Amino acid sequence: MPQLNYRMNLRDRSVASLRWIKALPLGGEVTAIYPVGGATGQLLRRIVEKEGIHGLTFEVLDETRLSFTVLENETGDEYRFVLPGPSLSEPEWQQCIQELRHLSDRPGILVMSGSLPPGVPDDFYARVARMAKDWGTKLVLDSSGPALSAAVQEGMYLIKPNLRELRELTGQALEDEKSWLAACRALVDAGRAKVVVLTLGDQGALLVTHDAVLRALALPIEPASTVGAGDSFLGAMVWALASGQDLADAFQYGIAAGSAALITPGTELCSREDVGRLYSQVTIHSI
């Protein structure tokens, strides 16, 4: 059984990565820490519970936001609508930290994901990182902008930016593979992360550590929807790492799960069968 894995999220972002850890063949114990506000917050809680995911929730005054995706059948175009979310007061976001601090079982892996709501300081993830590092917890971060910039100052185990997020983090144009690799390696050498996984959409992904550089090309898939692909990628990687697999295997599972998510329409979870089939098709080579 994999170690306990906790995902902390201050927004109502997709729970796809947690769903993935629960759904994979060997299973996994996961807990989500997130705020709930109003009727939509209670709906979110019920959805998470229905997925069999243990949740530690805390009440906030403002309503949890709604986000939805519309697929236009004739053209195949996908439109995402992300409505304004709640602002969190200091006592509300501090409650999230308290929930984590009082866990009876220290997590083996802590995934911090999503953008931060209004009212939450840019260094929120950095504060959490300082606390969790004392437990020997591996910190995984999937965020962007000032929240990402502040958090990496504390040193993460793994970060998963896309190319736009890496450009914002480094302030560089990053026009080609050579510059992508140099930027990722600089983050590792500076102690910002032990592992940088750069997702590149239809160009695949790049994994960089102090000792290795792995490159994976995208699988030739016609996407039905891109919703949840990044979360599926990260969920599969976290599951594999918690299961004791090495980084190369975890990276291969991430590519397979992210690709499998593209096959399914809307927010439907990708299937185990698709991931197993695509896993064997993923080609990874060292640079």
Is residue 15 over pLDDT 60? no
Is residue 124 over pLDDT 90? yes
- Which pLDDT score is estimated for 88? 96
Is residue 14 over pLDDT 50? no
- Least Cα distance to 107 among 128, 138, 152 occurs for 138
User: Quick one: average pLDDT of 30-50?
Assistant: 90
Q: Give the helix ranges, DSSP H, for the chain.
A: 16-23, 38-50, 90-101, 124-133, 145-152, 163-170, 177-189, 229-242, 247-263, 272-279
202 flagged as catalytic: no
- Which pLDDT score is estimated for 252? 97
276 phi and psi angles, rounded to 5 deg: -60, -40
Q: Which of 231, 246, 249, 274 is catalytic?
A: 231
Question: Tens digits of per-residue pLDDT, 60-95?
Answer: 999 998 888 787 778 878 788 888 778 999 999 999
CATH node for 5-286: 3.40.1190.20
Q: Which of 20-29, 84-93, 211-220, 245-254 has the lowest mean pLDDT?
A: 20-29
pTM of structure: 0.89
Q: Which token pair is 133?
A: 């590092």
Is residue 140 over pLDDT 50? yes
